[in-house]
Structure 1
């Protein structure tokens, strides 16, 4: 078994070779908590959640750390707009983010690291950069001197900011030695949160928090760093410059992984542009399994559009697996051929996932297996059920509960309800709705028609299973 992953640093697929064999230290850039998480966050963090699940399945001991940026210009600005204390605002949105990740089934993070809790490490790292001649002081704080680090640009292949670098948080000061120099420590401004430190009163720059966090958790070098592709430059370039300059060791990270962006109407979804749909809104209109399917049916490095059509397709694909599961007869005795077919399908799925976590190819294997089983003379048995269970433990996007639901019957009932509503027989339409609700079927009327799904029966009662159209946009 060799897991291979695309490495942004080398620009090729390479075997995952941790510094300690069998032990993966993994860090993923987390959110800046000044607002609710949007579905672009959901795509990135679902795909890294899956990566952690898969590596653990393949026998690796994984420590997955994710930072929480809870002190930042954006948080301070939003707190000022709403008249809140920045730290209280950040704490509220951090809790909302973690709840949303749990609702989406993203459960693999081991360490949540808040920037507030690493101020001493941040100060120490800036001091190390000062001592080594990589940092200088201006009237508004301490800056990294890019001219002292020739390796800047090796991850992205560039050194200058472009117009599309919307999350760059470029620090402007006409006195900077180099245009791309970035703030390590920002001097205190009236009304802003600050810490009294040997660097002077102030607060961290954005880039420095991640390397201070990872140095404390993992040391100056570790195995895998992830984030969305829009963080490659300048954020991840800045991380490399900071840590390798401070420690004198390279590489900071052996493997850099980046997910493609989620786009709406052809443009990147982001909170700062206002072009986003919150994850909570998406979960209210749809369900976590369909969202997970939509994200994991795409390769993690691919960008994707999110729309009602995409989610309807995801819902339909899910239902094909779930309908097959309801046909499985676990009481029969499998033939040797049936056992072999299920085992071969699982092995083929793992083989696809070993090759740069190719989730679309793995799912294609699953659907191929289901097609063959549907053509077989005998009903699928325990081997098929075991395969479906294994797949769902990894992907967490199918409802395998034994429910007696006939899709055609439900669709017919909804069509009848639609006719009653057109005839203004709302009492009759409500009777159909109530009868479906009594069977655990949730319906929602949307501009694109009526959607339905099965109400989830998890103890938390916080998730719904099925489909609803979501037109993500402004």
Structure 2
């Protein structure tokens, strides 16, 4: 089965065929670094980290780039509130963002491109738009003229802002030619960062940095662009207009992938709503593996609710995998039936991922395998170990390290506890549970038997 991806541009699942055989150029919109990144960012970037890992697993040579918006209205406003230089504020929160990504094990990005470092390319792209008749100048800067680009709206299917869109950043000016025209280059204002350029003293608009960066890195066309669904309009629509108008080539991107939003307490996360959760604050309450599993157990295009119940369910479910891993004996000679079961599971698992990266479907296949393997009564061996290692290369959500817990001792204690419970000696049975808990080992009685795990997991 070939890899098929739901393409926002075509509104259907398309076979994935990159422009160059075996090579993928991938870009995802990065953060505006004016504050700590929130768990909505964590969902988006963890899911696109998975996508990059999967493309590599399928044999593609992937170059994954993200921009860092370090020149922006939000940064200027926040720096004024805190009485610090905009560049200093942006550097501080960029460093915090990279720390958060490392803490989440989002390791797939090859290039972090700061807007600050691409001013020449931004200016050159605006100049090209001016030259081709797609831009005009007002007293506060240069604007893109939407009337010159009839294809505006082909990505989103609309041309006006709606409630779920990300902050529009379409600057208002009474002399704009069209209501949706957006700023390409903003003229200098007192106290704001600026560059002296042929466009005049000023700084970039928000939308232009992405296309200037991707053109510098990948050229005027490339394979895959990702981001959260709230960026489709107007931000990604503006990217399409800018680059295709400047280059005369279409499409800018072959495959547009958009992730669902994260909701907290039933609403899209926002400071104004009071449900904002920074990544680093959440990671003080849970571990990165549990958070990764929570995100990756959902389809990337689905919205999801994040709360204590979601996190607890994710922790318990991923521990089922870790408990299974403890049963594996790499030296065990597996039966043909057991090896065949692994082979079928592997095929079905990757078939699900080839269908628009269906991670919940793939995980369901794997949990079916665990149940069937456990019912067989046979100890899992090296084939099971290899399968689990391949899965964890993608998910990075399971602790498979040997924590030097004597499994035979624990199983003997659990067998003794079962006997005590059958003899209705509940106080002695509870004492075994308590002694294990003191050693950092938690046990749980289920219809399928007693599960246990260490606090490290």
TM-score, with normalisation over the residues of structure 1? 0.86
Residue deviations 1:84-117 (CA, integer Å, cap 9, x gap): 1101110111111011101101000001100000
How far apart are 1:3 and its partner, in Å? 0.9
* Secondary structure of the corresponding residue to residue 27 of structure 2: strand
Aligned residue for 1:447? none
How far apart are 1:165 and its partner, in Å? 2.7
Equivalent residues in 2 for 1:449-468 (5 A)?
454=454, 456=456, 465=457
Tell me if 1:280 matches 2:280: yes
Partner Cα distance (1:306, 1:329) in 2: 36
How far apart are 1:331 and its partner, in Å? 2.2
How far apart are 1:271 and its partner, in Å? 5.1
Aligned residue for 1:31? 31
How far apart are 1:168 and its partner, in Å? 1.1
Partner Cα distance (1:274, 1:148) in 2: 41
Aligned residue for 1:417? none
Partner Cα distance (1:387, 1:21) in 2: 27
Equivalent residues in 2 for 1:63-462 (5 A)?
63-270=63-270, 274-403=274-403, 404=405, 439=439, 454=454, 456=456
Partner Cα distance (2:272, 2:170) in 1: 14
* Secondary structure of the corresponding residue to residue 399 of structure 1: coil
Partner Cα distance (1:224, 1:341) in 2: 35
Aligned residues of 2:194 and 2:201 also touching (Cα < 8 A): yes
Gaps of 5+ in 2: 415-433, 443-451
Count of residues in correspondence between the two structures? 424
Aligned residues of 2:166 and 2:231 also touching (Cα < 8 A): no
TM-score, with normalisation over the residues of structure 2? 0.89
Partner Cα distance (1:271, 1:113) in 2: 27
* Secondary structure of the corresponding residue to residue 285 of structure 1: coil
* Secondary structure of the corresponding residue to residue 284 of structure 1: coil
* Secondary structure of the corresponding residue to residue 283 of structure 2: helix
User: Which stretch of the first structure deviates more once superposed, 135-144 or 165-174?
Assistant: 165-174
Aligned residues of 1:46 and 1:106 also touching (Cα < 8 A): yes
User: Which stretch of the first structure deviates more once superposed, 244-253 or 272-281?
Assistant: 272-281
**CA shift in 2, pair 1:274/1:195, >3 Å:** farther
Partner Cα distance (2:223, 2:378) in 1: 47
Partner Cα distance (1:455, 1:316) in 2: 12
Partner Cα distance (1:48, 1:322) in 2: 24
How far apart are 1:441 and its partner, in Å? 6.7
Aligned residue for 2:421? none
**CA shift in 2, pair 1:455/1:188, >3 Å:** farther
Partner Cα distance (1:208, 1:292) in 2: 32
Partner Cα distance (1:453, 1:325) in 2: 11
Partner Cα distance (1:287, 1:441) in 2: 17
Tell me if 1:41 matches 2:55: no
Partner Cα distance (2:273, 2:140) in 1: 27
How far apart are 1:137 and its partner, in Å? 0.4
Aligned residues of 1:40 and 1:270 also touching (Cα < 8 A): no
* Secondary structure of the corresponding residue to residue 310 of structure 1: helix
Partner Cα distance (2:453, 2:245) in 1: 54
User: Which stretch of the first structure deviates more once superposed, 161-170 or 366-375?
Assistant: 161-170
Aligned residues of 1:38 and 1:271 also touching (Cα < 8 A): no
**CA shift in 2, pair 1:454/1:269, >3 Å:** farther
